[in-house]
């Protein structure tokens, strides 16, 4: 079956009504949910809205509560407080086998005694789907994840990537309103993981389903998800698009968790025509663009991503650049890390602090490469800085 045919068949006998794209009513509303294990609050008064058709990622370090939250959506854990509204109905106390939600498990949890076909059909049989219809659906699912010819195999006879596809097909077979994915690609090697990420996005777009993925891999979250919720200690630190998360982190914690960052603590000294001058201990006075939300506290933190820090032998001389009040810091290169696509530098500033910079290797013969011990000027524009309140 071609992809288009699979899609057509999918649409033709869809068991549930099309998701209503009512803009302001979310498909899933998590409302002040609390989950405690003993005295430990795994999820702490967390609220979140997820729209129909969204690909949402929950990102966070291990133990941040993201898996617990996902398990509450699946029904394996019951919230101690708060509501979980799916299509307006509170499902917080509904048993897992009665929810229109399916989950793809971290280690796939395929039934070892059943073959591929019976694994995929498992949920359909439980739903009491009549035989002919259920055969068509299984064939559709097998085609969707490109497993034709492997229907009779047992999970033990499949590769990691094939198991992952069976698990995906099995969790999609019942056409859940929401598909939950718990670290679905963690067991795959890097190359396979990257291609599978793209397939997952493609599948989600084509089926128009709502996917919620839990991952600790920020690149994975950024690749697949339209929006990312960053969690720490049972709370959402920030919910934003991947770009916002990286370029406009909401807190120092998020700035440090997502990607690499240089941080300088300091005091707001002066404020003039949409620019702040911040006196820092390690980098002298740093000029930054006034953020959209005005800074209220005096004590702040300046964050600059390494790739926004440029190095040169002499300071940038052009008047145009000077006019934008460039930030210049003098120092000595201490470490050079060649990563292929980019090179990372550590520069020891004259203040003693270490500044990280990374530069794309845009030319094969790089005449601008710096070597350890070399004196350089590190510079960055006020627009590339983010001001975070402490």
Partner 1 sequence: MSAPSIFTRPARLAVIAPYLWMALFFLVPFAFVLKISMSQTAIAQPPYTPVFDLTAGWEAIKAAFAALSADNFRLLVSDDLYVLSYLRSLVVASVSTAILLAIGYPIAYGMARLPRRWQSVAVMLVIVPFWTSFLIRIYAWINILQHDGLLNQVLLALHLVSAPVVWLSTDSAMYLGIVYSYLPFMILPLYATLAKLDPALLEAASDLGSSPARAFWLVTFPLSLPGVAAGALLCFIPIVGEFVIPDLLAGSDSLMIGQTLWLEFFTNKDWPVASAAAVVLLLLLLAPLLLYDRLQRRQLEAR
Contact positions vs partner 1 (CB under 8 A): 74-76, 95-98, 102-103, 105-107, 109-113, 122-123, 126-127, 154, 156-157, 170-171, 174
Which value, to the nearest 10 degrees, does the dihedral of the CA atoms of residues 369, 375, 380, 385 take?
110
In terms of CB distance, is 77 or 232 closer to partner 1? 77
Shortest distance, position 134 Cβ to partner 1, whole Å: 13
Shortest distance, position 201 Cβ to partner 1, whole Å: 23
Shortest distance, position 158 Cβ to partner 1, whole Å: 11
In terms of CB distance, is 5 or 127 closer to partner 1? 127
The secondary structure element, H or E, covering residue 231 is strand 227-232
Shortest distance, position 180 Cβ to partner 1, whole Å: 9
DSSP assignment of 328-377, as one string? Answer: EEEEEEEEEEE-SSEEEEEEEETTS-EEEEEEE--SSS-TT---TT-EEE
Give the residue carrying structure tokens 């998701």.
19
Shortest distance, position 273 Cβ to partner 1, whole Å: 58
The secondary structure element, H or E, covering residue 137 is helix 131-144
Shortest distance, position 61 Cβ to partner 1, whole Å: 22
Going from the C-alpha of 123 to that of each of 71, 290, 311, the distances in angstroms are 18, 55, 58
In terms of CB distance, is 76 or 338 closer to partner 1? 76
In terms of CB distance, is 106 or 351 closer to partner 1? 106
In terms of CB distance, is 156 or 319 closer to partner 1? 156
Tokens representing 187 are 């067991």
Shortest distance, position 36 Cβ to partner 1, whole Å: 18
Strand partners, 83: 31
Report the C-alpha gap between 32 and 39 in whole angstroms. Answer: 18
Q: Name which of 372, 389, 79, 34 is nearest 234 in CA terms.
A: 34
Report the C-alpha gap between 78 and 36 in whole angstroms. Answer: 10
In terms of CB distance, is 71 or 356 closer to partner 1? 71
In terms of CB distance, is 96 or 208 closer to partner 1? 96
Backbone CA torsion sign across 289, 291, 295, 301: negative
């Amino acid at each position: 079956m071609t992809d288009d045919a699979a899609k057509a068949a999918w649409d033709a006998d869809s068991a549930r009504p099309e998701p209503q794209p009512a803009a302001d009513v979310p498909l899933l509303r998590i409302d002040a949910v609390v989950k405690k294990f003993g005295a430990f609050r795994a999820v702490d008064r967390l609220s979140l809205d997820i729209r129909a058709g969204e690909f949402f990622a929950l990102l966070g370090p291990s133990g941040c509560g993201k898996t617990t939250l996902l398990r509450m959506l699946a029904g394996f854990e019951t919230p101690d407080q708060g509501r979980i509204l799916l299509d307006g109905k509170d499902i917080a106390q509904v048993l897992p086998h009665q929810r229109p939600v399916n989950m793809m498990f971290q280690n796939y949890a395929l039934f070892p005694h059943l073959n591929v076909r019976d694994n995929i059909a498992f949920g359909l049989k439980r739903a009491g789907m009549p035989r002919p219809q259920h055969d068509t659906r299984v064939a559709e699912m097998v085609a969707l994840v490109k497993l034709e010819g492997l229907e009779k195999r047992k999970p033990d006879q499949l590769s990691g990537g094939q198991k992952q596809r069976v698990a995906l097909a099995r969790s999609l077979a019942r056409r859940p309103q929401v598909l939950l994915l718990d670290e679905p690609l963690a067991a795959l090697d890097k190359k396979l993981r990257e291609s599978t990420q793209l397939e997952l996005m493609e599948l989600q777009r084509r089926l128009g389903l709502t996917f919620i993925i839990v991952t600790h891999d920020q690149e994975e979250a950024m690749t697949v998800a339209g929006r990312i919720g960053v969690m720490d200690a049972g709370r959402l630190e920030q919910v934003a698009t991947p770009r916002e998360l990286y370029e406009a982190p909401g807190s120092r914690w998020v700035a440090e968790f997502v990607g690499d960052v240089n941080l300088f603590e300091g005091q707001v000294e002066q404020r003039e025509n949409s620019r702040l001058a911040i006196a820092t201990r390690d980098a002298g006075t740093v000029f930054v663009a006034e953020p959209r939300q005005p800074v209220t506290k005096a004590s702040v933190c300046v964050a600059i991503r390494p790739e926004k820090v440029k190095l040169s032998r002499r300071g940038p001389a052009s008047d145009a650049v000077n006019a934008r009040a460039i930030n210049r810091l003098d120092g000595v290169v201490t470490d050079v890390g060649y990563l292929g696509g980019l090179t990372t530098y550590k520069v020891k500033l004259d203040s003693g602090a270490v500044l990280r910079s990374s530069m794309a290797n845009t030319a094969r013969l790089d005449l601008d490469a710096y070597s350890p011990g070399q004196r350089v000027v590190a510079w960055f524009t006020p627009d590339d800085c983010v001001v975070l309140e402490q």
